[in-house]
Amino acid sequence: MNFNFPLHLTLVGESETHHEVIDTLSHQVADTLAHVAGHAGQTAEHAAGGGSPELPNIFTFLNPLLPENIQHFIHHYEIVIFSTLVWITLALFAIIAYKKRALIPGSVQNVVEWTVEMLSDMVTGILGKHGKKYIPFIGTLFVYIFFMNLSGIIPGIHAGTSKLNTTLALAICVFLYVQYTGIRNFGPLGFLHHLAGSPKSVIEWCLVPLNFPLHVIGELARPISLSLRLFGNISGEDMLVAIFVTLGVGILSFTHLPIGVPLHLPFIYLALLTSFVQALVFTLLTTIYFSLMSHPEEEHH
Q: Which of 228, 237, 229 is nearest to 273 (CA)?
A: 237
pLDDT confidence tier of residue 120, bands split at 50, 70 and 90: very high
Q: Domain map of the chain by residue range?
A: 18-298
Determine the longest span between alpha carbons in the chain, in angstroms. 105
Per-residue pLDDT tens digits for 261-282: 778 788 888 889 999 999 999 9
65-85 residues labelled b (16+ CB within 10 A) or e (exposed) = eeeeeebeebeeebbebbbee
What is the DSSP secondary structure assignment for residue 229, as one 8-state letter? H
Average pLDDT value for residue range 209-216? 91
The pLDDT value recorded for residue 8 is: 41
Query: Does residue 183 register a pLDDT over 70?
Result: yes
The pLDDT value recorded for residue 256 is: 72
DSSP letter for each residue of 9-33: PPP--TTS-HHHHHHHHHHHHHHHH
Query: Does residue 142 register a pLDDT over 60?
Result: yes
Q: How many CB atoms lie within 10 A of CB 287?
A: 22
Q: Which of 38, 84, 79, 31 is nearest to 59 (CA)?
A: 79
Q: How many residues does the chain have?
A: 301
Torsion of CA 163, 153, 75, 231, to 10 degrees: 0
Query: Does residue 47 register a pLDDT over 80?
Result: no
Query: Does residue 231 register a pLDDT over 70?
Result: yes
Residue 70: HSE in the Cβ half-sphere, 13 Å Cα cutoff:
8
pLDDT confidence tier of residue 52, bands split at 50, 70 and 90: low
The pLDDT value recorded for residue 62 is: 81
- The type of residue at 40 is A
Q: How many CB atoms lie within 10 A of CB 298?
A: 14
Beta carbons within 8 Å of 5's beta carbon, 6+ residues apart: 32, 35, 36
Per-residue pLDDT tens digits for 88-114: 999 988 888 888 777 777 777 888 888
Going through 218-299 in order, the beta strands assigned E by DSSP cover none
What's the gap between Cα 274 and its chain centre?
Answer: 11
Q: Which of 227, 71, 250, 238 is nearest to 157 (CA)?
A: 238
The more confidently predicted of residues 154 and 261 is 154
Query: Does residue 160 register a pLDDT over 80?
Result: yes
What's the gap between Cα 239 and its chain centre?
Answer: 13
Element (H, E) at 136: helix 135-151
Per-residue pLDDT tens digits for 280-293: 999 999 999 999 98
pLDDT confidence tier of residue 152, bands split at 50, 70 and 90: confident
Going through the chain in order, the beta strands assigned E by DSSP cover none
* Residue 57 to residue 150: CA distance in whole angstroms: 15
Beta carbons within 8 Å of 57's beta carbon, 6+ residues apart: 78, 82, 156, 157, 158
What is the DSSP secondary structure assignment for residue 3, as one 8-state letter? -
Query: Does residue 41 register a pLDDT over 60?
Result: no
What is the DSSP secondary structure assignment for residue 51, as one 8-state letter? S
Of 74-83, 111-120, 252-261, 276-285, the one with minimum mean pLDDT is 252-261
What's the gap between Cα 217 and its chain centre?
Answer: 27
